[in-house]
Structure 1
Amino acid sequence: MSAPPEPEAGRAAWTIALRVAALLAADPHGCGGVRLRARPGPVREAWLAAFRAALGTGSPVRRMPVAIADDRLLGGLDLPATLGAGRPVLQRGLLAEAHGGVLIVPMAERLDAGTAARLAACLDTGIAALAREGLDVCLPARFGLILLDEGEADEAPPDALLDRLAFRIDLETVGIRDIAPEGEGATATEIIAPDPDTVRAVEALCSAAAALGVDSLRAPILALRVARLAALRDGAAEPGEAHIVEAARLVLAPRATRIPEAAPPPPERSERPDDAPEDGQDGADRALDDVVLEAVRAALPPGLLALLAAGRVRNASAGRAGSRAASDRAGRREGSRAGDPRRGRLDLVATLRAAAPWQKLRASARRPQQPIVIRGDDIRVARFRRRSETTTIFAVDASGSAAIERLAEAKGAVEGLLAESYARRDRVALLAFRGAGADIVLPPTRSLVRAKRGLAGLPGGGGTPLAAGLDAALLLALSVRRGGGSPLVVLLTDGRANVARSGEPGRGRAGEDALAAARAFRSEGLPALLVDTAARPSETARRLAEAMAARYLPLPQADAARLGAAVRAVAS
């Protein structure tokens, strides 16, 4: 059991969160919004209440349902009113309703790509555009986003949205005792004293972003907006050093992908007056850059520092990506399209919406007792998306060299990956190659017990028919794909082949056959991960991974967490 967070850390995180609430409430659309990482509970509700209080009663706050249809999100025809009036009657969507306020998005780590793209377009343009159902209407939709992130491990909201939000706060370390009672502790507007000195904010923020490895140009722009908002809240016309430092801590520090280098020692001062910068301007700029960078470095949380030092920070994809395929009749519904109902499922409501705007023009063609005229181009069929099942195929080198070196460790790594695949409700398959060929130890299954039993009984010894193992894994992966699934091959080998496809021994021919089999993986576009089981990273295994277009991971560096992360990255 992990130790509870220090009270000071929780109180400091809550103080920063209150400051973010105040700044975001001052200009929700200008700041883009905030990613709020917190579990449902009193702490998250207290922050939302503080934000609503700072926003005031005149600005709308809307909450987006988890599974929202396009007509509710973007707006469209009010079908009953349109049919009754005989003319198009517009219904505002949720995005237009949030104009001037904020939109709260629960479970943002599970947002699908389409909804994320619509939200990002609104953040960029401030407009909710309707170009469907015979309408071409643009409604104002300038709002900020509050993404409620409840994801586990590598789950995160879509990067396209995160890039557009100024703030990222984490309330995981904040307990109920860290929330100061009303009238006690710091308030959202008393955290940093104003500094009226005018400085070159843009250069300092851009320099800090570059030093932190923040590639997006939006980050320093958002940081500058936050610095100006902080200055306005403190009664200053221009942001001072304290405001720039605060903006860098709030906006740039959570986006860091590398540890900034320590500032070099100041150069020795020359005795010649000609060497001094005019009016001390250059020296002041360099000092500001150093101050901002050191402040951001101090603001990096310890957990992030450890990940940065290990080189393990990366942009996470939204939830479990998986593979999604279009379907005519099954899966999750995703809108409608013009089509033939004999080849799909008729979407009656969408058909009526498409026909309704034209009823006044079609009045002459209307028959008695016919309330509405529908033509062929009005007919809509439902669109569906079904998530294809992922099958992880473990191809294990069980030859003599592997058994002598690290077959036991490879089995341990595979067992950990089997458990992760089972937790994701994926299917797993296991094949082993040794001697003169490859055998399927376990066909695709969801049974973790069967998979572990097959792995435990896997013998070692004999030659290394690497080409035969690759061929068998390829055939199994292609059969999974033909059945509508998404295959992922995890190959565990040291890359040293000594048995050719023909069964003849010899390293030269066996190596050529293995590379040819690896190139077949590349040509089929199959996702793969090669785990090098040699005692030290092997150049042979690395070349094999390049030929397969597979991700390469040496087993000495592959602990359970890293292996699981690598598999998830390849699968996405």
Structure 2
Amino acid sequence: MTDQDRTERSPWADAVLAATLFAVDPAGIVGIAMRSLPGFARERWLATLKSLLPPDAPVRRLPLHISDSRLLGGLDLAATLRAGRPIAERGILAETDGGVLLVAMAERVSAGTAARLAAVLDNGGVVIERDGIAIDTPTRFGIVALDEGMTDDEQPPTALADRLAFRLNFEGVSAEPPAEDAPTADDVAAARARLAAVTAPDDVIEALCGTALSLGVWSIRAPLLALAVARAHAALAGRSEIAKEDAAVAARLVLAPRATRLPLPPPEEEPPPPDEQQQDDQPPPDGKNEEQQNVEDRPLEDMILEAAKAAIPAGILEQLRLAGRIKPRQPSAGRAGHLQKTKLRGRPAGVRRGEPRSGGARLNVVETLRAAAPWQPLRRRERAMSGQGERSARVEVRKDDFRITRFKQRTETATIFVVDASGSAALHRLAEAKGAVELLLAECYVRRDQVAMVSFRGKAAELLLPPTRSLVRAKRNLAGLPGGGGTPLACGLDLAIALGDQIRRKGQTPFVILLTDGSANIARDGSPGRPKAEEDALASARALRAAGITALLVDTAPHPRPLARKIAAEMDAMYLPLPYADAAAISGAVKAVSPPRESLAG
């Protein structure tokens, strides 16, 4: 496929093609990850997909906070209480056998739910043994994960996204009228009937694997999914064997969105000798021109790789390099706050055995009855053997049956800005640093996070602003920040560590943003001297790492300094040199490297 062919295909046409191939083989292709907010284009695409599926194919929606018993199956509480013996119920995954599972808000799916989905997809069925019942139900289905994330940080869990063949982006995509040659439901049904007879040549399999390696796609599932897509495309075209066109489409739709690097250019060949060059100038005996002959003589892997390269957006290499350089260190920490267990607030996180009176914990009535239900026949026999007679209550609940709901929530985050206000910083980038802090303060205000501000200059550091939510007060203190004097970097870090410890004692999560040019020249005791000052700064950086505080160091020097990079390494912090960036660039970079913020249910 040439670049001209790619430009002729709109994102909507590729999305419809993906839906068509998915309808041919939902279980083999596994699924589609679609990044899109609710809107007309998405609903139109979903309607197109449903029209291509078999009429009897079940389509189920996965609730965001679904319980394990409803997801996988378990004890049917009502039927068990009526029958007096354990009765099993089918979960939503078993009910979706042969159909499609719609996962709304896939970016908020918990890691546990994603792991259970992945296990069912890999095993081809649901296998559970608990509550006195055993369930072994084969089920094969496809998944449409609707990613409604607002930022790049919000993504579906890797365990789920890695198993889905297609990755579509509907941002800015408009629905188009159906093409005249668009496949119909009858065409898809015919392709579904031919699918089992489609074979895959060895050279196609090797070419798909080689293309994946050239694009930096390390997951073994990617070429397997690409092979399933190529087989579905061949069946749709009426072929009994995968052709190069089918493999090219699979590489473009499956491998290109997963690319982490651009393939290396081919090595330059030495010019042939003059006598061979004269022979090459002669026309080929079959009458074909040189371009046609080169196209036919090219290896299959090169043609597939060219199709995948044509689908990679422009500028992706720079984005991948930036993402690799500023990858967050701790996804569970940072500005989103640490995850902690609570008794009464936050998101439900399962149940445990316990008594409701312990610390105000909440009794989960349904799970308590579910724990008691399998034991009712035995308890009735125990009462009869002991001569206690029948009880009026239909369900006998004992102390061991009590189940307590567990909750989890993110702690509030306090962002500590540590600003270098020394003479060197004032000469270089203090104005830009102030502008970046103001932009970040506005973002913290929107998230209702607390902010604090520490500055260091002269011979000491001072707390300009204790943790607060007052944006006006923070801006006022920042505007009056003077510049000049030495650079007591160790004092600034020591004060940030002490403030972070106070914040943590309040149940909050500290996050340090250090803006400095890295030219430490004042020691911790206030004495001048660059060697002693640098030694103290490195010791303070190690102390901040030992305190477990997530940090980011923004090097504001005109040219990145080795000491600033070394301090960031000792802090175990993210390092971001911005020699020519303005305030907006600093703010954007800090937001990019900050760990993702998770939205929690009340």
TM-score, normalising length from structure 1?
Answer: 0.89
In the TM superposition, what are the counterparts of 1:473-552 in structure 2 within 5 Å? 473-552=496-575
Distance 1:197 1:242, change over 3 A: farther
Offset of residue 170 of structure 1: 1.8
Q: Distance in 1 between matches of 2:24 and 2:95?
A: 19
Name 2:124's counterpart in structure 1: 126
Offset of residue 482 of structure 1: 2.2
Listed one character per residue, the Cα deviations across residues 193-252 of structure 1 (whole Å, up to 9, x for unaligned) are xx9995611211111111111121111111111111211222222211000001000100
In the TM superposition, what are the counterparts of 1:13-92 in structure 2 within 5 Å? 13-92=11-90
Distance 1:241 1:313, change over 3 A: farther
Name 1:443's counterpart in structure 2: 466
Q: Distance in 2 between matches of 1:305 and 1:515?
A: 34
- Count of residue correspondences: 550
Note if contact 2:488-2:533 (Cα within 8 Å) is conserved in structure 1.
yes
Note if contact 1:223-1:251 (Cα within 8 Å) is conserved in structure 2.
yes
Distance 1:487 1:345, change over 3 A: same
Listed one character per residue, the Cα deviations across residues 348-381 of structure 1 (whole Å, up to 9, x for unaligned) are 2111101101111111334532432333332211
Instruction: Report the residue type matching 2:90 in the other structure.
Output: R
Note if contact 1:198-1:241 (Cα within 8 Å) is conserved in structure 2.
no
- Aligned with 2:127: secondary structure? strand
Name 1:356's counterpart in structure 2: 373
Note if contact 2:332-2:338 (Cα within 8 Å) is conserved in structure 1.
no
Name 2:282's counterpart in structure 1: none
Offset of residue 62 of structure 1: 0.5
Distance 1:151 1:101, change over 3 A: same
Q: Distance in 2 between matches of 1:545 and 1:232?
A: 55
Deviating more after overlay: 401-410 vs 502-511: 502-511
Distance 1:310 1:395, change over 3 A: closer
Note if contact 1:110-1:318 (Cα within 8 Å) is conserved in structure 2.
no
- Aligned with 1:232: secondary structure? helix
Offset of residue 47 of structure 1: 1.0
Task: Structure 1 unaligned segments of length 5 or more: list them.
Answer: 1-7, 273-282
Listed one character per residue, the Cα deviations across residues 487-531 of structure 1 (whole Å, up to 9, x for unaligned) are 111111122222222222222222111111111122222211111
Name 1:206's counterpart in structure 2: 209
Q: Distance in 1 between matches of 2:463 and 2:215?
A: 48
Offset of residue 269 of structure 1: 7.8
Deviating more after overlay: 486-495 vs 438-447: 438-447
In the TM superposition, what are the counterparts of 1:53-452 in structure 2 within 5 Å? 53-154=51-152, 155-176=154-175, 179-181=176-178, 184=180, 186-187=182-183, 198=201, 200-264=203-267, 287-302=299-314, 304=316, 307-308=319-320, 322-343=337-358, 344-366=361-383, 367=388, 368-452=391-475
Distance 1:187 1:321, change over 3 A: farther
Q: Distance in 2 between matches of 1:545 and 1:314?
A: 12
Distance 1:306 1:513, change over 3 A: closer
Instruction: Report the residue type matching 1:111 in the other structure.
Output: V
Note if contact 2:336-2:410 (Cα within 8 Å) is conserved in structure 1.
no
Offset of residue 72 of structure 1: 2.3
Task: Structure 2 unaligned segments of length 5 or more: list them.
Answer: 1-5, 189-197, 277-294
Instruction: Report the residue type matching 2:116 in the other structure.
Output: R
Note if contact 1:158-1:318 (Cα within 8 Å) is conserved in structure 2.
no
Offset of residue 322 of structure 1: 4.3
Note if contact 1:10-1:174 (Cα within 8 Å) is conserved in structure 2.
no
Offset of residue 570 of structure 1: 11
- Aligned with 2:579: secondary structure? helix
Note if contact 1:78-1:90 (Cα within 8 Å) is conserved in structure 2.
yes
Question: Are 1:565 and 2:592 counterparts?
Answer: yes
Offset of residue 79 of structure 1: 1.3
Note if contact 1:66-1:106 (Cα within 8 Å) is conserved in structure 2.
yes
Identical counterparts, % of pairs: 53
Distance 1:9 1:424, change over 3 A: farther
Q: Distance in 2 between matches of 1:447 and 1:530?
A: 24
Note if contact 1:347-1:381 (Cα within 8 Å) is conserved in structure 2.
yes
- Aligned with 2:377: secondary structure? coil
Offset of residue 460 of structure 1: 1.2
Q: Distance in 2 between matches of 1:52 and 1:315?
A: 38
Instruction: Report the residue type matching 2:204 in the other structure.
Output: A
Listed one character per residue, the Cα deviations across residues 15-56 of structure 1 (whole Å, up to 9, x for unaligned) are 111111111112212112001122212211111111111111
- Aligned with 1:213: secondary structure? coil
Instruction: Report the residue type matching 1:443 in the other structure.
Output: P
- Aligned with 1:123: secondary structure? helix
Name 1:3's counterpart in structure 2: none
Instruction: Report the residue type matching 2:510 in the other structure.
Output: P
Question: Are 1:466 and 2:492 counterparts?
Answer: no
Note if contact 1:257-1:313 (Cα within 8 Å) is conserved in structure 2.
no
Name 2:290's counterpart in structure 1: none
TM-score, normalising length from structure 2?
Answer: 0.84
Offset of residue 13 of structure 1: 1.4
Offset of residue 286 of structure 1: 6.4
Instruction: Report the residue type matching 2:180 in the other structure.
Output: E
Instruction: Report the residue type matching 1:520 in the other structure.
Output: A
Note if contact 2:332-2:595 (Cα within 8 Å) is conserved in structure 1.
no
Q: Distance in 1 between matches of 2:7 and 2:297?
A: 32
Offset of residue 331 of structure 1: 1.6
Note if contact 2:87-2:133 (Cα within 8 Å) is conserved in structure 1.
no
Q: Distance in 2 between matches of 1:36 and 1:339?
A: 42
- Aligned with 1:362: secondary structure? helix
Cα-Cα RMSD: 3.1
Q: Distance in 2 between matches of 1:499 and 1:134?
A: 70
